[in-house]
Structures are given as structure tokens and as C-alpha cells.
Amino acid sequence: MDSFDIFKKLSVGAKFKKPEKIAIKPENEKSSAKQVKIKTVGDNVPPALSTFDLMKKTYSLSPVLMENLNKSGYTEPTPIQTQAIPVMLQKRQIFACAPTGSGKTAAFLVPVIHHLNKPLNKGFRALIVSPTRELAKQTLRECTRLCEGIGLRAHTFTKINKDKEKFNPKLAQKFDILIATPNRLVFLLQQEPPAVELDNIEWLIIDESDKLFETGVRGFRDQLATIYKACGPNAKRAMFSATYTVEVAKWSKKNLDGLVAVTVGNRNTTTTTVEQDLVFVGNEEGKLIAMRDLVKKGLTPPVLIFLQSKERAKELFSELIYDGINVDAIHSDRTQQQRDNTVKAFREGKIWVLICTELMGRGIDFKGVNLVINYDFPSSAISYIHRIGRTGRAGRSGKAVTFFTNDDKPMLRRYFLFLCKIFSLLYN
């Protein structure tokens, strides 16, 4: 089938063939390397270790940390964990790229917790920067779980004015790990005197690094530079993301001594556990008809629906609530409390369908999302990868449906190469 045929097929809403699952639990190093390609670049790269037991033996991981991994249900490391954990345990700086839902959070938390070892009462020694507050809170939860019984204390900012008073450096001494969004952190750093001190930071982790490197009004590049400087020259840096940009790769190569770059799978492709469907809906009205059609056929919750703006999210919410669907919406016009309550209700299964904007596109790990609907066509291939990556996580299967109209066709054409890449991966 040539490229034109593929495009014709896509444009009439052809279904992608369901891809084969990639096992998230490798049986041994050899099989893991065979199932999931792990590529490393750097000098003297520490070998990947296929079990947590091997990591414990090689790097003397504490029994309590091992127990916490076990209690989290992490019996074997995921592919990124097999390689990134040993690299960071050797205090090597890392630039890591691995698919959505592949366990990158624990890949950086385990070595950080191992190095910090126990509370020292000297303030933050590790900093994890996340693009959204929702992701920061989620990382805090995982961090707190993995630190249980070790005594390390992690913190994320909640109320900015309180934080201003609370986080004068003296009072922050009881915390070891800070998980923060760039805007809040920079606000506190810029108080006179600074309301947060980062002098003792040993590890600076940039999660969703390509997002945080973006410039422009929605980017965090300037804030990141301020944070980077505040951490002092001795902090080790680690960059993690599901998507790769040449800019971050080049920057890391130039600025991070002894860097190890780790890539799991093929760069900038969707996770293989998601069945993908493109549906041509003609025009704007067609989207609502297609949506109602999906509901009529029967949706299996939980379902996430992505739209391009908060205004559009509100409009769709009114339509779906009118249809009697158990739905809520999350976007930047809602208060922090409302956002927290909505996320909690969705996690607990009290809300079945969650309408969201790009805000929820990165990093958010809702267990068992069955279906992601791109009601509005994503604005880039990178956005597509992250959005549909909210399903098919941790080796589970998932489904994504993307609506497109006549107006989206130029964009679809721009994605063409990317979509062909998925296509050829699925059919070869």
C-alpha cells in the first residue's frame, strides 16, 4: 500500500489494526531487550538490570525501599526502570525518553530516594519539576508511598500565599524532596528574601522535559532557567519525557557532564498498547453526532475527552450533561479545589466521563482509562502521543478515537509522516 492509499484510508475513518501488546514485565534482560528496544548513548553506561533484586544486590537498595516497591505492586522493573535506575544510582546525569505510562516516575524516584537515604533536617535535597499541579500532586503521592518507613518527607505547594510565609527556608528544613510547578517555584524564589532555598539540591529532575523547555506564553523555558541557576552547580540533572525534541537532546548533551541518553522503543511514537481510530466527522456539528453515536453504542467508562480550549470544554459539558451522562469537566477556569475534587471523583469512579483540555494531557495516570476521545484534533503529533497515552498504561490495553473535520485535513496532512510511521509499525 503506498502513502496515498494510506491517506485515503485514514481519511475515511479507517480503523488501525490492533497492535500487539508489548509486555511491561520483562522476563530477563535478553527478552526485555528483544521485546522493547532500549538504546543508550554515553561512555561506560551501567548495564541494565532486569530485576529489583539485582538492583538491590548491586547497589545495596534498602530493604524498606524494596518492600515499598513490592507493596506498590512493582514486582519487576519496567524497561525504562531497568536502565534508568542503574544509571542514576551511579550518579550519572540522564536524558531519558520512554513511552507514556511506562513507569518513568518510579524510574527517577527510586534512585533519588536511595541517594537521600534518610532525613537530614537540612531542607530540600531533591527537586522534581512538573508542568501541572495535578501531575505534581500525583508524583507526590507516588513519592510518599515509596518513602514510607524511610522517614524522607516530600512536599508540594498548595496555597501560594501560605507558602510564602510557610516556606521561609528555616521552616522548610523538615522536608527533603520538593515537587513543584515552575511558576509557583519561581514566584517563591523571587521573594525578597527568597521564600524557598535550593542550595542543597543534589538531584534536579525535570519531568516532561520537552514541555518545560518550550518557549512562548505557554512555555516554561525562562522559569526553568531561573530554577536551574538557583539549584547551584553541584546538583545532578535528570530529564524525563515520553517525547523527544532535538532541542532538549542537544541542550542536555552540551550542558550535562557524563550524560547517558536512554531511549525506550521508537522515538515519538504512540504507545503500542492503544488501539487507534480516526473518524472523519465532516464538520463541527458532526462531532456531536459522532459523540452521541459513540454513547449510543455504549461507552465503557472511564472515558477522557480532550478539547482544544476551556470554552469548548464548557460547551461540550453542557451538551453531555443535558444528555444525562455522568460527566464533569476540568480546565483552568475551575478553582484549585474544584479541580482537585473532579480529579478525585474521576479516580474513584464517581465520574465516568471527564472532559478536559491540554492541562490533563501530560503525565496524568488514571488507572484503567478505557477510551480517550480526541473531540478536537490535537495541535501537534506530540500532543496526540501524550493525550492518547492516558490510556493503555502499564501494559494494559486501551482505545483512542480521534475526530477530524474538513478543517483539520491540513493538520492531518502535516501529521502524515507521523501517522504513516505508526501505520508501518503496526503493519510490519
Ligand X SMILES: Nc1ncnc2c1ncn2[C@@H]1O[C@H](COP(=O)(O)OP(=O)(O)OP(=O)(O)O)[C@@H](O)[C@H]1O
Residue numbers at the binding site for ligand X (CB under 6 A): 73-74, 77-78, 81, 98, 100-106, 242, 363, 365, 389, 393-394
Length of the chain: 428
- Among candidates 44, 59, 111, 61, which has minimal Cα distance to 84? 111
Residue type, 418: F
**Least distance (Å) from ligand X to the CB of residue 100?**
4
Among 97, 347, 339, which Cα is nearest to 211's?
97
Phi-psi region of 401 (alpha: psi -120 to 50; beta: other; left: phi over 0): beta
Of residues 189, 199, 156, 167, the one with CA closest to residue 336? 156
CB of 78 to ligand X, least distance (A): 5
For 154, the 3-state DSSP assignment is strand
CB of 74 to ligand X, least distance (A): 4
Closest distance to ligand X from the beta carbon of 394 (Å): 3
- Output 19 or 77, the one with its CB closest to ligand X: 77
Residue 346 C-beta: closest distance to ligand X, Å: 15
Nine-digit cell string for 165:
510565609
Q: Which is nearer to ligand X, 264 or 412 (CB)?
A: 264
- Who's near 48: CB < 8 A, 6+ residues apart? 29, 32, 33, 38, 82, 83, 86
Min dist CB 361 to ligand X, Å, is 9
Q: Is 196 or 274 the residue whose CB approaches ligand X more closely?
A: 274
Query: Is the CB of 172 or the CB of 305 nearer to ligand X?
Result: 305
DSSP string, 89-132: HTT--EEEE--TTS-HHHHHHHHHHHHH-S--SSS--EEEE-SS
Q: Which of 123, 131 has the CB closer to ligand X?
A: 131
Quickly tell me which residue has 546525569 as its cell: 93
CA distance linking residue 33 with residue 79, whole number of Å = 8
Q: Which is nearer to ligand X, 123 or 361 (CB)?
A: 361
Of the pair 389, 398, the CB lying nearest ligand X is at 389
Q: Nearer Cβ to ligand X, position 102 or 402?
A: 102
In the complex, minimum distance from the CB of residue 285 to ligand X, in angstroms, rounded to a whole number: 32
DSSP string for 291-338: HHHHHHH---S-EEEE-SSHHHHHHHHHHHHHTT--EEEE-TTS-HHH
Rounded to an integer, what distance in angstroms lies between the CA atom of residue 285 and that of residue 288?
Answer: 6
Do the Cβ atoms of 95 and 261 come closer than 8 Å? yes
Backbone angles phi, psi at 403, to 5 degrees: -85, 145
**What's the min distance (Å) between Cβ of 80 and ligand X?**
7
Cell of 255: 550542558
Question: Which residues have CB under 8 Å from 72's CB, separation 6+?
Answer: 106, 142, 145, 146
The minimum distance between CB 56 and ligand X, in angstroms, equals: 14
Least distance to ligand X, CB of residue 385, Å: 9
Cα separation of 119 and 59, whole Å? 20
Q: Which is nearer to ligand X, 314 or 347 (CB)?
A: 347
Which CB, 96 or 329, lies closer to ligand X?
96
CA 393, 132, 189, 257: dihedral to nearest 10 degrees? 40
- Residue 103 or 265 having the CB closest to ligand X: 103
Task: Provide the minimum distance between the beta carbon of 363 and ligand X in the complex, in angstroms, as a whole number.
Answer: 4
CA 152 vs CA 56, 123, 419, 425: distances in Å: 19, 11, 44, 43
